[in-house]
Amino acid sequence: MTFSIVARQGEAYGVAVASKFLAVGAVVPAARTGVGAVATQSFARVAYLDELLGRLAAGEPADEALAAATALDDGRETRQVGVVGVGSAATFTGSECNPWAGGVARDDGETAYAIQGNILTGPEVVDAMERAWHESVREPLARRLLAALAAGDAAGGDSRGRQSAALYAVEPGSGYDACGVLADLRVDDHTDPVTELARLHADWELYFGKPEDVQPLEGALASEVRDRLARAGFVADDVATALADWAGNANYEARLSPDGIDRRVLEALRAATS
């Protein structure tokens, strides 16, 4: 009933998942900074999330942790699970999962992933997700997870249709107030949940992402920014103070930089004052 990717890139861990199931993000994904990430699906056993993260935290590699957890579960043949830890990745598909069901897991040291799905249109869904993961190698983790999810959706996804999707990822120092949550987004009931999830993530990055492509507030750019801020009703003795006031009002304070103005903040300011 679900397809997902669980992955690690550097110190970041995350899960992206979609399903013809209400609020799939409330059931399937979990991740813990410095430990790993887990997806439980197909008659999901939610207890796997804490159990597997606990085993990973204790130093067990993903394949051993998954084998131990499923061995204790009488319902394991109805389950499907993906696990990624430090230096390890594993996937499990029980023999009683509804077809098509299967998965793949790989670890190349710097990155690792487990991709799995059940009640899919066919193996092409997993294949497409794996290709998208590799083709997005230059992107940060959350974007790679979304790229893989979108590829699986485009390849057919859940054979019953679409309803919900979710993205949950962690990374030290990321997110609002550097809380470590790289992304925490859910689309619980939607006709095109994967596309909607990507839209929400673009907004999430704008509000909670780190400054990028920062330009000094000098010369013509400083004059433009000062003029646009004044048009928006934000005037101060210096342009940096006015910018901080406007950014705080618009909830862009995570992207403020002492070195100038972030590219996406500048784009938002231009759009707001065009």
- Given the structure tokens 């509804």, which residue do they identify? 98
Residues 44 and 77 in one domain: yes
Q: Select from 182, 164, 163 the least CA-distant residue to 172.
A: 182
Q: How far apart are CA 4 and CA 190, in angstroms?
A: 17
255 and 120 part of one domain:
no
**Residue-averaged pLDDT of the chain:** 96
One domain, residues 58 and 188: yes
Do residue 20 and residue 144 come from a single domain?
yes
Cα–Cα dist 64/67, whole Å: 5
Do residue 142 and residue 267 come from a single domain?
no
178 vs 190, which has greater pLDDT? 190
Rounded-to-integer distance, Cα 164 and Cα 187, Å? 5
157 and 256 housed in the same domain = no
**Alpha-carbon distances, residue 80 vs 18, 99, 112, 168, 202 (angstroms):** 14, 12, 18, 18, 30
Angle between helices 141-154 and 124-135 (to 10 degrees): 150
pLDDT given for residue 1 in this prediction: 66
259 CB-contact burial (10 Å; exposed 0-12 / middle 13-18 / buried 19+):
exposed
**pLDDT recorded at residue 79:** 98
Same domain, 158 and 134: yes
Clarify whether residues 129 and 256 are in a common domain: no
Q: Is a pLDDT exceeding 90 seen at residue 87?
A: no
pLDDT digit string, tens, across residues 214-230: 999 999 999 999 999 99
Mean pLDDT to the nearest integer, 3-13: 98
Domain span holding position 192? 2-208
- Element of type H or E holding 264: helix 263-272
Instruction: Supply the CATH number for residue 109's domain.
Output: 3.60.20.10
For residue 159, report the phi and psi dihedrals to the nearest 5 degrees: -65, -15
Whether 135 is covered by a domain: the verdict is yes
**Residue 189 in domain:** yes
Rounded to two decimals, the pTM is: 0.93
